[in-house]
């Protein structure tokens, strides 16, 4: 375990030194911070806009950070030949892959949570705290953190895909393939609706299978309820199931990655 | 068992777990989705692309900002279709429904769009049954625009049954008052006074609570005074008369001149519709103007015993005048009148009897003054200036 943790820490430090990540992070914070431009809307509209755009920015920049940081991890090690040094030590290949994954997960978690806290501060400072009282407003708006946490778990699936693709391809191809998976996975939520509209049993069956197998990034989206301030019945159960889904998906992808990486000549 | 076999089994188990979880998640998913996937006919590709990436709310918010631009640049006609897209993207965007209905019913200044505003609010309520705002908006639509106070009461009752601020119940009380159900209004004012006093005791520096209490006290007192004064009106009702002449000033421009002894500042309703409007009228959310059946609905005031208003139908696109015969109605319903006029006529016409006053058999019974005339297409579109109708 200490080996995996060492690799994860190394990956975390290395990723934090990448300028591109800080550029993305900075832009995201800037956009969230600039939400005061909505002050000409009525208070409820203003909060709706801030929350929706804020969560959208967290999601979008989370995707960018996940793709760009993760896809380059293993190909860079191979190109620089530093992988030989690492694997010459008593480190199993699966430990290397898992360590890389955990490292990038830490980077993503830190980035997304900092963005979510920035959004929470903006929302609280926009009168929400004054209207409801500080603690009540904090509890109500802490669902921003809950929504971000769920997004984080689903972006882990994207990271796992990026690692899987990067094992047998270049950084650019890995980014492209992962982005493709992300787009397809984002459509899965709508496929569920299309199944209901379809009258052809064969089409329905094919769509149903696709819907159940393709990673459904739509599961991560609870932000409509966060933006408009309603809590659907059985929320805790839903969130737990959605997290379990993402972890199961990550496990499948990690198994495949370690399997392929074990047989790869480096 | 070999390592490979174990891995394969683990993989298969995980995939099965994913499938089972997704099936369970699908049961809960509709509660979190902005809305069902439905076709809208026309929508820009950029918005659709954003929407499909799971960012429907962001797209809705960006469009909402565009509406602000259109509003301030005076391009109001572009707003309703955009609001339609916003509510399609995010049916829980209550402000969009609220604002859309206002654009249609009030800002458009075209009374023919009121049924569309009503249908739009109905859709909003269906998508957001737990939000008081849209019920209250519907109440205000019936109160201020349609002037059906019994319906306004229904909607404000539904709004006040949900978690809502005191102004919703204030409007419920006003609706009761307009509907002539004064005792019901007094009950609500009393309750609001009690609640306001308690709230002020709890928090003496809460300006909003002080304001709410004082408003309730003022309205309660006014209600009591009016109840006594207006009840006295029934003992000495007065006959009211209304006669009018219709002049054709130029083709498609009419002038209505009425003479009446109705009180100063009374608002007389002047409407012009197709004779067969009842058959053709449909409530629709298709953003289609009902411009082939309904034309004018204006509320000029009585000044020094006279009422004069011009009806301009020269915009043939807006007023195609496809029918052959039209009904011009001139009416006054005491319920819809300003308070100073109601002080003379009563809530439901208690101070009116005889002359041109007619009784509407409803519960409670109401009175009104109403006269109408049939105008032909030639009456309206003829070339020469002329007196075309006189109703005594």
Write the CATH number for B295.
2.60.40.10
Backbone angles phi, psi at B238, to 5 degrees: -120, 140
Residues of A in contact with B58 (CB under 8 A): 52-53, 55-56
Q: Which two tokens stand for residue A137?
A: 């407003």
| One domain for residues B136 and B250 | no
The last residue of one of the domains, among B233, B250, B271, is B233
Q: B34 touching A, CB under 8 A? A: yes
| One domain for residues B221 and B281 | no
| One domain for residues B227 and B96 | yes
Residues of A in contact with B100 (CB under 8 A): none
Considering the domain boundaries, does residue B10 fall inside one? Answer: no
DSSP B356: T
* Strands B352-355 and B238-240, bridge-based pairing: parallel
3-state secondary structure of A259: helix
Residue B56, CB-side half-sphere exposure with 13 Å CA sphere: 29
| One domain for residues B318 and B224 | no
Residues of A in contact with B11 (CB under 8 A): 252, 255-256
CA distances from A76 to A16, A37, B26 (A): 15, 41, 39
- Measured between CA atoms, the residue of chain B closest to residue A216 is B22
| One domain for residues B99 and B216 | yes
Q: Residue B105 belongs to a domain with what CATH number?
A: 1.25.40.10
- Residue B72: domain span: 41-233
| One domain for residues B203 and B268 | no
Q: Hey, are the CB atoms on B57 and A248 less than 8 Å from each other? A: no
Considering the domain boundaries, does residue B27 fall inside one? Answer: no
Considering the domain boundaries, does residue B30 fall inside one? Answer: no
CB atoms within 10 A of CB B176: 25
pLDDT in tens, chain B (392 residues): 677 888 888 888 989 999 999 988 888 887 777 655 444 544 555 456 555 566 778 888 888 888 877 888 887 878 888 888 888 888 888 989 998 899 888 887 777 788 889 999 999 999 999 999 999 999 999 999 999 999 999 999 999 999 999 999 999 999 999 998 999 999 999 999 999 999 999 988 888 889 999 999 999 999 999 888 888 888 889 999 999 999 999 999 999 999 999 999 999 999 888 887 666 555 444 444 455 566 778 899 999 999 999 999 888 877 888 788 899 999 999 999 998 999 999 988 989 988 899 898 887 788 999 999 999 999 999 888 889 999 98
Considering the domain boundaries, does residue B1 fall inside one? Answer: no
Overall number of domains in chain A = 1
Q: Which of B20, B57, B66, B83 to mutate to test the interface with A (most CBs of A within 10 A)?
A: B57
- Residue A252: domain span: 2-262
Give exposure, A87-105, as e/b (b: 16+ Cβ within 10 Å). Answer: eeeeeebbbbbbbbbbbbb
Burial (0-12, 13-18, 19+ Cβ within 10 Å), B370:
middle
Contact B21, A244 (CB under 8 A): yes
Task: Of B220, B232, B152, give the one whose Cα is nearest residue B190.
Answer: B220
Q: Hey, are the CB atoms on B52 and A227 less than 8 Å from each other? A: no
Overall number of domains in chain B = 2
3-state secondary structure of A264: coil
| One domain for residues B226 and B242 | no
What does the pLDDT look like over A144-194, one tens digit per residue? 999 999 999 999 999 999 999 999 888 999 999 999 999 888 888 777 777
Among B19, B22, B61, select the one facing A49 at the smallest CB separation: B61
| One domain for residues B163 and B301 | no
| One domain for residues B280 and B172 | no
| One domain for residues B161 and B255 | no
The CA-based angle A161-A246-B27, given to 5 degrees, is 130
Among A41, A193, A259, select the one facing B37 at the smallest CB separation: A193
| One domain for residues B77 and B216 | yes
First to last CA, chain B: 105
Q: Hey, are the CB atoms on B53 and A183 less than 8 Å from each other? A: yes
CA distances from B39 to B25, B89, B120, B343, B367 (A): 25, 11, 17, 53, 48
Reported for B358-367, long-range contacts at CB under 8 A and 24+ positions apart, including other chains, are B364/B180, B364/B181, B366/B180, B366/B333, B366/B334, B366/B335, B367/B334
Contact map slice: A 170-189 vs B, CB within 8 A: 183, 186-187, 189
Q: Which of B32, B35, B39 to mutate to test the interface with A (most CBs of A within 10 A)?
A: B32
- Rounded to a whole number of angstroms, the distance from the CA of A80 to the nearest CA of chain B is 31
The last residue of one of the domains, among B201, B233, B265, is B233
- Rounded to a whole number of angstroms, the distance from the CA of B43 to the nearest CA of chain A is 17
The DSSP code sequence of A20-70 is HHHHHHHHHHHHHHGGGGGGGS-HHHHHHHHHHHHHHHHHHHHHHHHHHHH
- Measured between CA atoms, the residue of chain B closest to residue A184 is B53
The last residue of one of the domains, among B214, B233, B252, is B233
């Amino acid at each position: 375990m200490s080996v995996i943790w060492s690799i994860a820490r190394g990956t975390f430090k290395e990723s934090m030194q990448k300028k591109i990540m800080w550029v993305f992070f900075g832009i995201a914070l800037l956009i969230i911070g600039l939400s005061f431009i909505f002050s000409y809307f009525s208070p409820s509209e203003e909060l709706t806009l801030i929350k929706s755009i804020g969560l959208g920015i967290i999601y979008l920049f989370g995707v960018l950070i996940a793709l760009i940081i993760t896809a380059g991890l293993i190909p860079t090690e191979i190109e620089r030949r530093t992988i030989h040094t690492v694997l010459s030590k008593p480190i199993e290949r699966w430990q290397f892959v898992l360590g890389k994954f955990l490292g990038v997960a830490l980077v993503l978690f830190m980035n997304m949570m900092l963005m979510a806290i920035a959004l929470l501060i903006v929302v609280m400072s926009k009168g929400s705290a004054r209207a409801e009282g500080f603690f009540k407003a904090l509890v109500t708006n802490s669902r921003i953190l809950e929504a971000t946490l769920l997004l984080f778990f689903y972006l882990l699936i994207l990271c796992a895909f990026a690692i899987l693709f990067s094992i047998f391809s270049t950084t650019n191809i890995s980014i492209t393939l992962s982005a493709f998976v992300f787009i397809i996975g984002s459509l899965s939520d709508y496929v569920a609706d299309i199944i209901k509209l379809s009258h052809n049993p064969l089409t329905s069956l094919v769509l149903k299978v696709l819907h159940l197998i393709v990673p459904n990034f739509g599961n991560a989206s609870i932000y409509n309820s966060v933006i408009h301030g309603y809590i659907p019945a059985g929320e805790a159960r839903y969130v737990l199931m959605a997290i379990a889904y993402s972890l199961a998906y990550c496990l499948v992808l990690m198994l495949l990655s370690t399997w392929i990486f074990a047989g790869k000549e480096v | 068992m070999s390592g490979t076999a174990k891995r394969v089994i683990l993989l298969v188990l995980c995939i099965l777990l994913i499938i089972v979880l997704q099936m369970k998640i699908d049961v809960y998913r509709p509660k979190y989705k902005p809305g069902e996937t439905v076709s809208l006919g026309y929508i820009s590709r950029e918005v659709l692309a954003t929407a499909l990436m799971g960012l429907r709310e962001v797209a809705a918010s960006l469009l909402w900002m565009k509406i602000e631009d259109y509003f301030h640049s005076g391009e109001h006609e572009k707003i309703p279709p955009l609001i339609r897209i916003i509510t399609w993207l995010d049916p829980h965007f209550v402000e969009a429904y609220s604002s859309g209905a206002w654009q249609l019913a009030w800002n458009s200044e075209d009374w023919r769009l009121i049924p569309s505003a009503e249908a739009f609010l109905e859709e909003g309520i269906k998508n957001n049954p737990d939000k008081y705002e849209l019920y209250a908006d519907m109440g205000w639509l019936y109160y201020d625009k349609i002037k059906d106070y019994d319906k306004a009461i229904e909607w404000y009752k539904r709004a006040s049954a949900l978690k809502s601020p005191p102004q919703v119940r204030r409007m419920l009380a006003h609706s009761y008052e307009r509907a002539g159900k004064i005792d019901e209004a007094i009950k609500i004012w009393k309750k609001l006074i009690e609640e306001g006093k308690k709230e002020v005791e709890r928090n003496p520096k809460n300006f909003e609570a002080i304001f709410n209490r004082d408003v309730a006290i003022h309205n309660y007192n006014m209600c009591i005074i009016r109840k006594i004064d207006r009840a006295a009106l029934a003992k000495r009702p007065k006959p009211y008369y209304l006669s009018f002449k219709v002049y054709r000033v130029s083709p498609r421009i009419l002038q209505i001149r009425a003479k009446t002894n109705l009180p100063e500042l009374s608002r007389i309703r002047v409407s012009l519709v197709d004779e067969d409007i009842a058959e053709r009228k449909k409530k629709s959310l298709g953003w289609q103007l009902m411009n082939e059946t309904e034309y004018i609905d204006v509320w000029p005031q009585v000044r020094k015993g006279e009422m004069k208003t011009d009806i301009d139908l020269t915009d043939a696109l807006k007023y195609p005048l496809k029918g052959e015969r039209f009904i011009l109605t001139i009416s006054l319903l005491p319920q819809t009148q300003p308070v100073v006029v109601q002080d003379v006529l009563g809530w439901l016409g208690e101070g009116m009897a005889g002359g041109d006053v007619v009784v509407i058999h409803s519960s409670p019974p109401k009175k009104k003054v109403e006269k109408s005339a049939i105008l032909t297409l030639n009456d309206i579109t003829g070339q020469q200036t002329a007196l075309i109708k006189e109703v005594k």
